Structure 1
Amino acid sequence: MLKTIRVALWMTVPVALIGSSVMLWRADQHEQVAAFQPAFSLPDDSGAIRTAGEFEGKHLLVFFGFTNCPDICPTTMSEVAQVMEDLGPDADEVQPLFISVDPVRDRESGLSEYLAAFHPSILGLAGDEAATQAAVESFKVFYDQENDASQPGGYTMSHSSSLFLLGPRGDWLRQYTYGTPADDITADLKERL
């Protein structure tokens, strides 16, 4: 009996150490994420330069996409529109942003009209190549132009498909992977607002 108790105690120690290590590692990961503050400086459709700092006090839902996207972008914008509707009066505390990874073509095709078809609060930003690249690097996402003769201009864009949430001080809070239901995003936001 005493031998069984000793074995059980000896097995408990490694489990406790592993559990503590995992908890400390997860806490450390959270601190690293909290320190991450993406930045952007991009024009809206009127030409006014918009930065993350001007939205201080609001949560930002940020998506990188393009208007000729056949599936990911319209699906995500539909989800964002549903979230904004479901938030009701709390929607005033959230600003959805669509950062174009195909700015020249998106400006020509009417980025603001495209986004207004989903929800009037979604703000489109489309800069030059350098400003777009700076925003992409700041958010640690990717995009690339790919040849596709069936698309306008003979190309399409591949890009990160996640929706990003920034807090009221501009700090990165989390990302919602493509296909996260609008109800889940809404519930998460309501807990944070």
Structure 2
Amino acid sequence: MMTLLVLVIIFAIFALNFFSKKQNATSNIGESFSLIDQNGNMFFSKNTKKKKLIYFGYTYCPDICPMDVLKISKLFDDNPNLYKELLPIFISIDPERDRPETLKDFIQNFNSAFIALTGSNNQINQIIKDYRIYVKLNKKNNSDLSYLVDHSSLIFLMDENDNFITFFRTGDLFMKKIDPFLKKIL
């Protein structure tokens, strides 16, 4: 009987430990970062005292990235009060081609609230790791500049201190899924 009780207690401890780790697994998504914006200025995420809506993409993307950025732009166009509380951020996953001037040309086609960011390969790779983004450059060789990039299509909602709140898939349901969070913000 005593052996059974000890086994039950050990099992309960392992179960509690397992489930508490699983529950907190998303809390370590993202970090504060510093990158270069579309105007060539340093941007420090920790200095922005707004919630952040972060999208990872690249300017040479032929289809998905522009459509996703357009969805976020529409969100801000339809909800002008968001400007006070929420900052839309586009982070390039292709720093080799996405220089500040390239980002500026790209982002000016969308909502003016957007901040577009790039950095060194090391900086971008660290952010990709911190946000758990899948990225694969499809280069034939090192001189190939016409490559496509496979990547996760997610939009991250972060709080004022760069803590993870949630993420959204960029599909058709994005606007419906983000709506409850917008009601809390507004």
TM-score, length of structure 1 as denominator length: 0.75
Give unpaired runs (5+ residues) of structure 1: 1-20
Look up the match of 1:46.
Answer: 39
Look up the match of 2:162.
Answer: 170
Higher helix share: 1
TM-score, length of structure 2 as denominator length: 0.78
Matches within 5 A, 1:1-193: 25=19, 29=22, 31-34=24-27, 36-56=29-49, 58-107=50-99, 110-147=102-139, 153-179=145-171, 180-193=173-186
Q: Which stretch of the first structure deviates more once superposed, 105-114 or 136-145?
A: 105-114
Change (3 A) 1:94 1:63: same
Task: Give the % identical residues.
Answer: 25
Q: Which stretch of the first structure deviates more once superposed, 80-89 or 105-114?
A: 105-114
Change (3 A) 1:146 1:37: closer
Secondary structure class of the residue paired with 1:111 = helix
Cα distance in 2 between the residues matched to 1:54 and 1:176: 24
Greater gyration radius = 1
Residue-pair matches, total? 168
Return the offset for 1:29: 4.9
Cα distance in 1 between the residues matched to 2:23 and 2:165: 9
Secondary structure class of the residue paired with 2:81 = helix
Are the aligned partners of 1:63 and 1:99 in contact in 2 as well (CA < 8 Å)? yes
Give unpaired runs (5+ residues) of structure 2: 1-14
